[in-house]
A and B are shown apart, each in its own frame.
Chain A
Amino acid sequence: MIGTAAPPAKTWRRAVDDLVAGWQHRELWGHLGWQDIRQRYRRSVLGPIWITISMAVTAVSLGVLYAGLFHNDLSKQLPYILVGFIVWAFIAGCIAEGSDVFIANEGLIKHLPAPLSVHVYRLVWRQILFFAHNLIVYVVMLFIFPQHLGPLSLMAIPAFILLAANGAWVALLLGILTTRFRDLAPITQSIVQLLFFLTPIVWIYTDLLNSPNSSVAARARLVEFNPLLHFMEIIRAPMLGQPQHLRHWVVVGVITVVGWTVTMEALRRYRARVSYWV
């Protein structure tokens, strides 16, 4: 692999170099990401279509269940839950797998002088491929429950790019931290589970905000402090043709900048330590 002429280990340039050199290895992680997907369904007849099927089954059953519980129309509840689940699968995948991205790749890290970011790109790419498989369910749903999509729905594309960019820093930062502090991995897994319930995926955020029960409405307002709400909204609203709000974009933008700044600082300081820690 590429050995670079090395300025001192803890410079910003080395951190940036890691990201750039990792990107140049895209043939490698691109291949590995695909292989991971096929690997998971190896020896099964349907293969990766199982991703699509299990998403469809989950969304339909929970859609029916929660439409009943909340007394909502299935045509409203099901698309909401489906898109929520597709986006959630991506978010949860980046966080949960990010927490052991370097630990899981110990063998490769100790045997090959590849940039750390290769493992992170592979992870995010794999999650993007999962996402693409799940989108098939979304497309089928559009035929059954047509949404009022317009030109503004295209905002889902930059929104997803932003989501992926955030997935990358989360995985990189968590990967570094959990390699050093092994207790963080199980903590992260629990937090991801908790976040699922705190994020409007099965329950409809605006419905609770406008709830006649004022204490429910007050509780619902607290969700604004959940960063994942904003990521969820910038994608789900355009995909369902619902009104979009600028504040979600602003929050996501700020999180992206702050997150990458912190991550680059961690990468600068601890990049060279990861191979010692794994």
Chain B
Amino acid sequence: MSTVEQSTSISITTRDACVDFPIFDAKSRSLKKTVMGMVGGNISSEQKVPVIEALTGINLNLEHGARVGLVGHNGAGKSTLLRLLAGIYEPTRGQAEVRGRVAPVFDLGVGMDAEISGLENIIVRGLFLGMTRKQMEDRVDDIAEFTELGDFLRMPLRTYSTGMRIRLALGVVTSIDPEILLLDEGIGAVDAAFLEKSKKRLRELVDRAGLLVFASHSDEFLRDLCDTAIWMEHGRIREHGELEHVLAGYKNRV
């Protein structure tokens, strides 16, 4: 594989990118209204759909090696920005270009299936993260050891406690080799000893990644993993710069 060639071209560029969500209420989402609207010549019905401007005027240029923290209040647009950077939402206005293999970790559990065993879930979750089956099979032992789940890995996931599920998910997520790693915090509900262990693994994961964007409310985590930061407010980038500087500004504001 041409990983060397690829790693040099990892980048995320956005220019005046906006993400607007149309909110179709029950009426405007139905066929009837649109058809009737067309017949009646009421073309402006499109504008009656309320739009939530989740992100506005996002200009970013992230290169290989970037370690970006993402701070802001709830609803400031952190998660939406991560989805924009992942290519899940293509900008409604402006441009966004993502080069490189993206591993988005927004929700530890997505793609997990309660009815299949932990081992099978490791493979499936890995496939979802852009790994091949072969790569995941090579990592199963490592993941099994990390999660300390032992024979439970052969049991269906529905028999797991919440904490055990998080262990499994963290184990898989931290085993991959991402080019672009997008992390939304959601790491909790694990016991303290395990948290220490996963931090180390998380750090190693970040070291392997070409580019990191990490949304978190924890200064400690951010200082651990990032060197720059973006402060989101009302769907706009309020400040983008050196981590401590941005954090200080953000804290003052709060």
A residues lining the B interface (CB < 8 Å): 1-6, 8-9, 27-28, 31-32, 35, 39, 42-43, 107-113, 180-184, 187, 272, 275-277
Q: Which of A27, A28, A276 contacts B89 (CB 8 A)?
A: A276
Complex interface bits, B173-200 against A, C-beta within 8 A gives 1, otherwise 0: 0000000100000000000000000000
- Could you say which residues of chain B place their CB within 8 Å of the CB of A28? 127-128
Question: Does A111 lie within 8 Å of B97, measured CB to CB?
Answer: no
In the complex, chain B residues whose CB is within 8 Å of the CB of A187:
31
Q: Is A31 in contact with B97, judged by CB distance below 8 angstroms?
A: no
A3, A31, A108, A184: the one contacting B87 at CB < 8 Å is: A3
The stretch from B63-71, B109-117, B161-169, B231-239 touching chain A is: B109-117
Q: Is the CB of A31 within 8 A of B31?
A: no
Interface residues on B, range: 35 or more
Q: Are B124 and A112 interface neighbours, CB within 8 A?
A: no
Please tell me if the beta carbons of B110 and A275 are within 8 angstroms of each other in the complex: no
- For the complex, what is the distance from the CA of A254 to the CA of B70, rounded to whole Å? 52
Q: Which of B100-108, B140-148, B240-248 contacts A (4 or more CB under 8 A)?
A: B100-108
Query: What are 28 inter-chain pairs, A to B, with CB distance below 8 A?
Result: A1-B129, A1-B130, A2-B101, A3-B87, A3-B102, A3-B180, A5-B99, A6-B97, A27-B127, A27-B133, A28-B128, A31-B123, A31-B124, A31-B133, A35-B113, A107-B110, A110-B88, A111-B104, A111-B111, A112-B104, A112-B110, A112-B128, A113-B98, A181-B31, A182-B30, A183-B30, A275-B90, A276-B89
Within B70-97, the residues touching A (CB, 8 Å) are 83, 86-90, 92, 95-97
A1 nearest CB neighbor, chain B only? B130
A107 to B96, CA, bound (A): 23
B180 contacts which chain A residues (CB < 8 A)? 3
User: Please, which residues of chain A bring their CB within 8 A of the CB of B110?
Assistant: 107-108, 111-112
Q: Does any Cβ of A come within 8 Å of B203's Cβ? A: no
**B101, A275: Cβ atoms under 8 Å?**
no
Please report the C-alpha to C-alpha distance between residue A168 and residue B92 in the assembled complex, in whole angstroms.
Answer: 27
**Smallest distance from the beta carbon of A89 to chain B beta carbons, Å?**
23
- Given A31-B123, A35-B116, A181-B30, verify A108-B88 contact (CB < 8 Å): no
Question: Cβ of A3: which chain B residues have Cβ within 8 Å of it?
Answer: 86-87, 98-102, 180
